[in-house]
Amino acid sequence: MKLLQLILNVLWVVFCGFWMALGYLVAAIICFVLIVTIPFGIASLRIAGYVLWPFGRTTVERPDAGAPSFIGNVIWLVFAGWWLALGHLLTSIPLFVSIIGIPFGWANLKLIPISLMPLGREVVPSDERFGAR
């Protein structure tokens, strides 16, 4: 199973993961420069790592996330989230057209919700059972 995850992640990086992670990195740098938005930059870096190497990991809602995360997600959605979601959508189109890239196209579409609302979520290994923490 770990070998399959490694192969999928390497193919992912080659076909779309690098470019999408670069988009998140640019968003993080902009957030760090603006100083007030540093928490958004941290979230963007966290998701950049996930987007770069997604297979074998998933995201879960943090139980301590509340109203501040929701408000932050609304701000993120307006200023950066929809750009990144659009990037995922546009990247998935050539993957779907290539037929062999259809699984990667679906994976790209599955990343859209976290690109829109990243705050209040954390990346965890997917082989960890739900509620085992």
- Across the chain, which has 133 residues, the per-10-residue mean pLDDT values are 88 92 95 92 94 91 86 92 94 93 91 92 75 50
CA–CA distance, 45 with 25 (Å, rounded to integer): 6
Q: For residue 66, what pLDDT is reported?
A: 84
CA–CA distance, 58 with 40 (Å, rounded to integer): 20
Q: DSSP secondary-structure letter at 99? A: S
Q: Are 12 and 62 in contact (CB under 8 A)?
A: no
- pTM tops 0.75: yes
Q: How many CB atoms lie within 10 A of CB 125?
A: 8
Report the candidate in 80, 82, 104 with the shortest Cα–Cα distance to residue 93.
Answer: 104
